Structure 1
């Protein structure tokens, strides 16, 4: 699949993980469409959607994003995430969606995200999403799985 088509698919999938058009008040179709949303800050309801759909706790999500849980609680009261927090949440959503695409099964993808992985130094993929390099490592491991290379 050409990179632009792959990016568009990931962006559209991330929409539902973050609450859909009704929460985001937008329908980003390509990666560039996300930028104004991130700069403005995503609605805090996106956090609830992400935890509901992935079935991880708010505490687990806070650790995965490297955002103090108290900050997430405060943002829920305020109604909007900061641009940096929004970018972390979109990164999380894109990686989870990529795992779902590779495994073609949400439960298998979420199980993989929460299981220690030898190819990632024995840590869980979820624990690496707090940094861009960590997320890139997870995406690389998913690419190796998709192409039948040990990961």
Structure 2
């Protein structure tokens, strides 16, 4: 699977853009081997610099600041950290596609919602099950089903 085919995987393309696109991941890259090897630390810098996540959010959801400092010296994330970062990027991309705007997605991800038992969607992304619930809710919203 290539992440560069927007007709087959639009969210995958957008997800790659959230973490740095071709500059960080390479052209025509399959994301799975990249995750297994460990993404470059530049992907973290990109998502922070773009404002998609704050350092505090990254600290809670993807990897602690102290660990990030250590990973910067090594140049890459671990496969587990890479997987968490991609999960968060995929859901940010899905929210942006669902709401049609990065600003609207940014607000929605950080606002508590009754459909998620009063939790903020972004705060659920620290677990796979939480991410699935957010993804399901975004799917319902995208299809016009009452959340």
TM exceeding 0.5: yes
Report the secondary structure of 2:119's partner residue. coil
2:18/2:52 contact within 8 Å kept:
no
1:79 to 67, 75, 82: 75
Please state whether the residue corresponding to 2:50 is helix, strand or coil: helix
Runs of 4+ in 1 over 3 A off after TM superposition: 4-7
Give ranges in structure 1 of 5+ residues lacking alignment. Answer: none
| Contact preservation (8 Å) 1:15, 1:27 | no
CA change 1:70–1:17 in 2 (3 A) is same
Task: Flag structure 2 segments of 5+ consecutive residues without an equivalent.
Answer: none
Q: In 2, are the aligned partners of 1:62 and 1:69 still within 8 Å (CA)?
A: yes
User: C-alpha distance in 2, partners of 1:46/1:5?
Assistant: 20
Shift in Å at residue 7 of structure 1?
6.0
The equivalent of 1:56 in structure 2 is 53
TM-score, structure 1 as length reference: 0.87
Of the candidates 41, 52, 65, which is equivalent to residue 44 of structure 1?
41
Match of 2:108 in 1: 112
Q: Distance in 2 between matches of 1:121 and 1:90?
A: 25
- Number of the residue aligned with 1:98: 94
- Per-residue deviation, residues 88-113 of structure 1 (Å, max 9, x unmatched): 10111100000000000110001100
More helix, by proportion: 1
User: Which whole-Å CA distance do the structure 1 matches of 2:42 and 2:93 have between them?
Assistant: 18
